Amino acid sequence: MSGTETKTEIFTVAEMEEQRECSRADRMRWVYEQHVQPCLVELFGTSLFVFVGCASVIENVAASGVLQPAVAHGLALAVLIMVFGQISGGHFNPAVSLSVCLCGGMELLRLVPYILAQMCGGLIGASLAKAICSTGSYDTALGGAIHPNTTDLTKATQAEVMMTLFLTMVVCMGAVNSRTRSPWAPFCIGLAVTANIFAGGTVSGACMNPARAFGPAVVANQWTHHWIYWVGPTFGALLTVTFIRLLFGDQKTRVVLK
């Protein structure tokens, strides 16, 4: 009788150890999938986006103006959001992360890690573009760095505000807001970037993305009026949050007439 009890006790302890190991593995998996993997995706996706963006500017050998950069940026972003959106949301842009977070589409805890991952991704992407592009083209295009094409910095900043407002509004209404969410959101976001570059590329460079500006600015050491690409996108993102929280958001998102 005591032998049977001893065997049962040993079996129970073994089961408890196995359950404890499974619980620990599940917890580690949850931490990885909820916190680590999204940041890795933002790092990797931003690297690819900035690489394509810089390369499209550097190797614009046909002198097609904004056509080649506009199409390249828009297509690259749409594809990356389609592929990675279910993991991290597919932001690849600090201004987008800010607007999504303040509109309730992301936990505040993730905001700073996302932005850090995106800035590092911008550096990696710009470095890769420098590594593959010819030296002559790279120097001529200033490494794909964004810079205003006007001496009126107020107009350039306003252009960045409006273009970022358009982009972040499409992101938040197309991918976050429950009433207007659409499976076509990645395509629409890519089109918004393309349209903005067509509209404002000859004014401010149509950056809309501090990570896209920061990476090539560091790698190519081009800091001319760099502040525009932080101030403009940040104000544009905050305007989007204001409009959605007060006017356009669903019942859960609005702060008035809930």
Q: Where are the domains of the chain?
A: 2-248
Do residues 98 and 110 make contact, with C-beta atoms less than 8 angstroms apart?
no
Check residue 9 and give its pLDDT. 59
10-residue stretch averages of pLDDT, the chain, 258 residues long: 54 64 82 93 98 94 80 97 96 98 94 98 97 92 92 96 98 95 96 97 95 97 96 98 95 85
Pick the CATH number of 2-248 from 3.30.420.40, 1.20.1080.10, 1.20.1090.10, 3.40.140.10: 1.20.1080.10
User: What is residue 46's predicted lDDT score, i.e. its pLDDT?
Assistant: 98
| Distances 114 to 39, 88, 160, 180, 209 between C-alpha atoms, Å | 6, 9, 21, 25, 13
What length does the chain have?
A: 258
- Number of helices (H), then strands (E), in the chain: 10, 0
CA 94 to mean position of chain CA atoms: 6
CA distances from 166 to 186, 218, 243 (A): 14, 27, 12
User: Which pLDDT score, from 0 to 100, does residue 65 have?
Assistant: 82
Q: What's the distance, Cα to Cα, between the start and end of the chain in Å?
A: 68
Distance of CA 216 to the CA centre of its chain: 16
